[in-house]
Amino acid sequence: MSSPERNFFSAWARLRPAAASLLVAGLLGASSCTVQPLYMDNPVANGAVTGSIASDLSTISVKPVTTRVGQEVRNKLIFLLHGGQAEPAKPRYTLVLAVGSISEASANIQINTENEPTAAVETVLASYTLTDSKGTVVANGNRQFAVSYDVPRQEFAALRARIDAENRAARELAELLRLALAQDLAMGPASPDAPKGAPS
């Protein structure tokens, strides 16, 4: 064995106890974490078990919205929260949504002297506020989802393509909102400084 190899193994022999100590300390630290699945039942201090996050989500009523894309988001979200069933007659929580959309050209082709878009990105944005039956704000936040689509030269086809893209983005946004609400309910009431802005 050459001298550099002997030096390497000698240094490793000296460092091995320290490395083992660090490994044990890391394992002990990891064992103190309280990671659990988002939708499992949550124990409370007295040892009883509250309803799962999924059952909490099923007690949310979603307020009506005023835009077409907002209605797409609301319909999908209600289906996700209640599994296709009707909203609760006496909800524990009320959700207020503000939904908007933006379409931006992502590729242009020059035809004569005009630049006509041939591809675009549709972004659907939502802000939400969740309150309990006493009117106390439990959570609020913002989410958005973007999809790309081709823009045909024919005007009606271009409008139809944008609406289809808007619908796809709205359905995906509803999934994001459901996950956000589940996380918010798992974490507890919102802080007073939580964001409350609505999309334009």
Q: Which residue has the higher pLDDT, 55 or 109?
A: 55
46, pLDDT greater than 50: no
pLDDT of 131-160, one tens digit each? 998 989 999 999 999 999 988 888 899 899
Instruction: Kindly report which listed range (41-45, 142-146, 170-174) carries the lowest average pLDDT score.
Output: 41-45
The sign of the torsion formed by the CA atoms of 155, 157, 161, 167 equals positive
Is pLDDT at 36 greater than 90 in this prediction? no
Q: Where are the domains of the chain?
A: 1-35, 53-187
Q: How confident is the model at residue 69 (pLDDT cuts 50, 70, 90)?
A: very high
Percentage of the chain modeled with pLDDT above 70: 63
What contacts 128, CB < 8 A, 6 or more positions away?
A: 95, 96, 97, 98, 139, 140, 141, 142, 143, 177, 180, 181
- The Cα 96–Cα 98 span in angstroms is 7
The CATH superfamily holding the domain 53-187 is Lipoprotein like domain (3.30.160.150)
Q: Which of 2-11, 159-168, 173-182 has the lowest mean pLDDT?
A: 2-11
Q: Looking at the predicted structure, is the pLDDT value of residue 62 above 90?
A: yes
Residue 128 has pLDDT above 70, yes or no: yes
β-bridge partners, 105: 120
Cα end-to-end distance, the chain, whole Å: 72
pLDDT for the residue 45: 39
The reported pLDDT for the residue numbered 109 is: 63
Q: In the numeric block, which tokens belong to residue 4?
A: 């550099």
- State residue 167's pLDDT score: 95
Q: Is the pLDDT of residue 17 over 80?
A: no
